[in-house]
A and B are shown apart, each in its own frame.
Chain A
Amino acid sequence: MEAATHKHPNYVLIWLYLAVLTVVEVGVAFISHFSKSTLIVLLLFFALWKALLVALYFMHLKFERWNLRTIALIPIPLALILIIIVLQEGL
């Protein structure tokens, strides 16, 4: 188990990352003067970045085999298909 002890990623660093990103997000949302659409893109970008950090490091997806990663990824395109197609309605 010696190997495992050394192989833990630096969780505190990731925690710092996440905390800083959250502060930046709130800052961007309330202090900056971007247009609405730029703002949405920026905020989504930060949210995805944070989500990826959690998935890759906390949920160890980075260290899993490809087939387990596939299981994690399969539903995402499906959910996107649903949202994108229904948005096409252009109601």
Chain B
Amino acid sequence: MSHAAADNLMLPSRSFERGVDAYDIKLGMWVFLASEVMFFGALIGTYIILRFSVDQPWAQPGVILNVPLTAFNTFLLICSSVSMVKAFAAVADGDQKNLKFWLFMTMLGGAMFVGVQVFEYIKLLGHGFTPSGYREGSQLAEHALADPLKYGAATGGLYGSTFFTMTGFHGFHVTCGVVSMTYLFFTKALPGKYSQQDYRGIEAVGLYWHFVDLVWIILFTIVYLV
């Protein structure tokens, strides 16, 4: 579909069809995403390695982290991915009104996701779950002392390190996405600068946004559920 659309883009002299049949920005975004795969690969790999090469048990899922809240957050991100793709479909069909609506919904979804995550972080830190483990003297540390198996007392430090690094960097990526979408919304979408012929910005930011969603799908499973 995008294939057919791309052929009709009124692009400047770029001869994109010689390469991979994608114009520069789309190709560049894919190349960038490849490097992002390696970045998250390093973070996730570290998590897997640290978790599965340590003998001590890890905290059981749902004990420390609020899974229902995050499941809702996951749902929110999936919704924003759908609204993004709706915005893309709208602009590909030349529908300015729906483009603005769906792009705005995507921004909203992303911003809400970040909000929920910040709320989650504040709660966790309040309970005593920090990047360096269970804070001494906190409620959580006492629980962990009482039931070290359930709370993975011995691995709390690694749990905190990997959890906050992975979800934190994901949240950072979401924030970047929201910021760039907001920028595009006000400078390009609202003034109606996108058209059926040129919607490169929307497609590229969409790719980025879906990638962030994809990473979250993996993170949600391996961090919260396993």
Chain A residues near B (Cβ < 8 Å): 1, 3-5, 7-9, 11-12, 14-15, 18-19, 22-23, 25-26, 29-30, 39-40, 43-44, 46-47, 50-51, 54-55, 57-60, 63-65, 67-68, 71-72, 74-76, 78-79, 82-83, 86-87, 89-91
Contacts and interface: CB of A to CB of B under 8 A. Distances in A.
A26 B42 contact: no
Interface string B200-226: 000000110011011001101110011
B10 interface: no
Given A15-B78, A44-B221, 20 more contacts: A1-B93, A1-B94, A1-B196, A4-B92, A4-B93, A22-B71, A26-B67, A29-B67, A47-B222, A51-B217, A58-B81, A58-B85, A58-B210, A65-B21, A72-B34, A79-B41, A82-B42, A83-B44, A83-B49, A86-B49
A50 B210 CA distance: 12
B125 interface: no
B155 to A, nearest CB: 14
Interface stretch (B25-33, B129-137, B164-172, B183-191): B25-33
Contacts, number: 153
Nearest to B84: A58
B160 interface: no
Contacts of A14: 82
Nearest to B90: A8
B3 interface: yes
Given A22-B74, A75-B37, A60 B45 contact: no
DSSP class of B's interface residues: helix, strand, loop or mixed? helix
Interface string B39-56: 001101100110011000
B49 A87 contact: yes
Contacts of A40: 226
Contacts of B1: 4, 7-9, 60, 63
